[in-house]
Amino acid sequence: MATESERGPFSRWVRSTIDDPRKAYRAMFYVATVFFLFTTLFPFYWLLVLALTPNDAIADFGFPPVPQGFNPGAFVEVFTTVPFHRFVFNSFVLGVATTAIVLVLASLAGYVFGRLDFPGKGPLMLLILAVSYFPPAAFIIPLFRLFTGNVSVLGVSSPSLFNTPGAMVLPFSALFMPLSIFILATFYGQIPDGLEDAARIEGTTRLGALFRVIVPLSAPGVATAGVLTFISVYNEFFFSFLMTSGEADAWAPLVWGILSYQGQYSELYNLMAAASIVGVLPVAILVVVAQEKIVSGLTAGALKE
C-alpha cells in the first residue's frame, strides 16, 4: 500500500474527501459558482469591451478579447445617435402595464384555484399551464390580422391597434398570466382559512379579503410573479418586432432601439454593445432589489411558522 507521501495530490484529496465529505460539497459548490459566473458575467464583459472599443478598431480586429482603445463616449452617443431613452421608456411602460394587468387578473384566478374547491379544478389548471407552453408563433397570424383591423364580426371590424401599446400588452398578458396564476394559487392556498374568516366576519367581502389580507400575506409570491412578468415583457422581442414599425414614437421596445444602430451599409457594434448595457441596467437593479425583498419575505414567513 502506498504511503501518504507517495500518493499524488489528487489521490490525497480523494482520500481526505472520503474522510470528510464536506470537502466534496464545497468543491462542487465552487465549480458550479465559477461556471455560473463565467457563463453569466463573460457576456457582459464582452459587451463592455466592445462598447469601449472604437468601431473602426472593431472592424480591424474583429471582436477583440480586450478593449482596443478607450471610448467611454459611446455611452453618450447611444442617446444622441437615436432616441434610445424613448425605447427604454417604451419597454418600461409596456412591462409595468402588463405586470399590473397580470397581477390583478392572476390574483383573482389564483384565489379561485388556491382557496376554492370546484369540479374540474385540477384539469382546468393543467389546461391553463398547457396553453402557456404553446409557441408564440402559433398566435402571430390571427393576432396580427386582429390588431390590424382585418377581422370582422357581424360587419364590425376589429380596431386597428398596430403601433399602439395594446397590440403588445394584450398578447403579453395572455402569455405570461398562466405562470403567475400557478404561483399565486400556490401562495394563496397556504394562507390559513381562519385569517380570511376573521376578515369576513368583520364585514369584508371575498374581494376585500383577497386584497386586504391574502395578497399582503402572500407578498413574496406576488413579488415573484410581478418580477418574472416584468422581466419577460421587458426582454420580449417577437411580438414587439411584428406589432410595431420600429420607430420610438410607435412604442417600439428596447430591442428595436438596439437594432437601430445597424444600418444598411454599416453596423455600429460599439453603440449596440453600449445600448445593451444601458438597457440591462434597469432590470439588473430590479432583480437585485426584488431578490432581497423576496428572500426576506420568505425568511420572515418561515420564522412565523
Question: Please, what is the average pLDDT of the chain?
Answer: 83
Is the model more confident about 249 or about 59?
249
Burial class (CB in 10 A: 0-12, 13-18, 19+), 168: buried
Q: Does domain 74-304 have CATH number 1.10.3720.10?
A: yes
Contact 274, 71 (CB under 8 A): no
Question: Considering the entire predicted model, what is its pTM?
Answer: 0.82
8-12, 65-69, 172-176: least confident range: 8-12
pLDDT of residue 10: 60
Q: Any idea where the domains of the chain sit in the sequence?
A: 9-61, 74-304
Give the pLDDT score at 13: 62
pLDDT value at 226 more than 50: yes
Please write the tens of the pLDDT for every residue from 25-55: 787 888 888 888 888 888 888 888 888 888 8
149 has pLDDT over 70: yes
Of 93-102, 125-134, 205-214, give the range with the top mean pLDDT: 93-102
What type of residue sits at position 74?
A
Integer angstrom CA distances of residue 16 from 7, 26, 94, 197, 254: 12, 13, 55, 58, 52
Average pLDDT over residues 3-32: 69
Lowest mean pLDDT among 28-42, 83-97, 285-299: 285-299
